[in-house]
Structure 1
Amino acid sequence: MSSLYSRNKDLSSRSRKSLSDSPPSSPSPSTKTFRQDRASSRSDSSGVEASSDRLAARTSTYTRRENRLASLNKTEDDSASKDYKKLYEDALAENEKLKSRLENSKQELSKIRSQLDKVTQEKEALGKRVSNMEEELKVLTELKSDNQRLNDENGALIRVISKLSK
């Protein structure tokens, strides 16, 4: 129990030190007026009026504080709602830009696909032409070899005929 008492004693002495160690500040004009009001209300003869004045002062202070906080919250809410509105509008504008870019990309993609289809068709047509030409080339080589063989046979026959006619 003595340890608890010593702790409480230390805490109370600390709080006294912190209050007494702080430098005295000059009272503001509103504080001076408040002190004068309190002093005059204390000097009133009836204690009921003084306590009701104190209660009214507390209530008015409380009301002023509440009004001030409400106005701060209201401006924060207004600015927050404006920020959300601006953010929403910015997001909408960004979405529109992205939609137009997407549409342009889709159009460009369709053009490129049609070009690719044309090129593919041309490539297939060229491939067919090449294969046809290769076939013709084979036929021409066979014809040349046949022609050469026939020329050789013709020359041999001419020689045989010329020997027989002598």
Structure 2
Amino acid sequence: MSSLYTRSKEFTRNRKSQSDSPPASPSPTAKTLRVTLPSPHLFILKTNAREARLATLTSRVEEDSNRDYKKLYESALTENQKLKTKLQEAQLELADIKSKLEKMAQQKQEKTSDRSSMLEMEKRERRALERKMSEMEEEMKVLTELKSDNQRLKDENGALIRVISKLSK
């Protein structure tokens, strides 16, 4: 392809022929050149060469861009996969933490219900003990009264024994 390109360059150059000499009194700035136009075949060859070169360049660019897109796509896929696994791990960890939290809340509720039931049982026991204590206090009062009655009766009995012994003498 480069050989075609160099040939077409040679043919498209502007040349001065020897018969094309400048006029006798030209101005220093104005020079006339005769240009020979290339044939239509050269123009087609030149156009075809450009198109072929452009096609190869565009195909290379497309291949490179396709490769780049493919690489980008593959890297995005791998990154997405990594992120998905991280997300799954985080969801599993979250579910585990939620279950632990629920267990702890349930245990706390059980403890509070156990505590409340224990408090109720303790209150009942306390009431029962208070009743027993009041009953025992009543019995103590009765016993102290009985003791005092018994002591009084002993004293009376002793006095009666003395009186009877005096009378029997």
TM range (shorter): 0.5 to 0.7
Matches within 5 A, 1:23-42: 34-36=13-15, 39=16
Does 2:47 match 1:62? Answer: yes
CA drift at 1:117: 3.7
Counterpart CA distance in 2 for 1:116 and 1:109 is: 10
Letter in 2 for 1:138: K
Equivalent residue for 1:102? 87
Q: Deviations over 1:17-72 (max 9, x none)?
A: xxxxxxxxxxxxx5897113xx56x99xxxxxx87x52222222212221222122
Counterpart CA distance in 2 for 1:95 and 1:72 is: 33
Q: 2:71 aligns with which of 67, 81, 86?
A: 86
Greater relative contact order structure (CA < 8 Å, 6+ sep): 2
- Any stretches of 5+ residues in structure 1 without a counterpart? 1-29, 44-49
Aligned structure 1 segments of 4 or more residues deviating by more than 3 angstroms: 30-33
Equivalent residue for 2:107? 122
Letter in 2 for 1:73: T
- Any stretches of 5+ residues in structure 2 without a counterpart? 1-8, 21-35, 153-169
Normalised by the length of structure 2, the TM-score is 0.62
Counterpart CA distance in 2 for 1:163 and 1:117 is: 67
Identity %: 28
Equivalent residue for 1:140? 125
Does 2:139 match 1:154? Answer: yes
Q: Deviations over 1:65-121 (max 9, x none)?
A: 212221221122112211210121012101210221122123213322332343233
Q: Which has the higher helix share?
A: 1
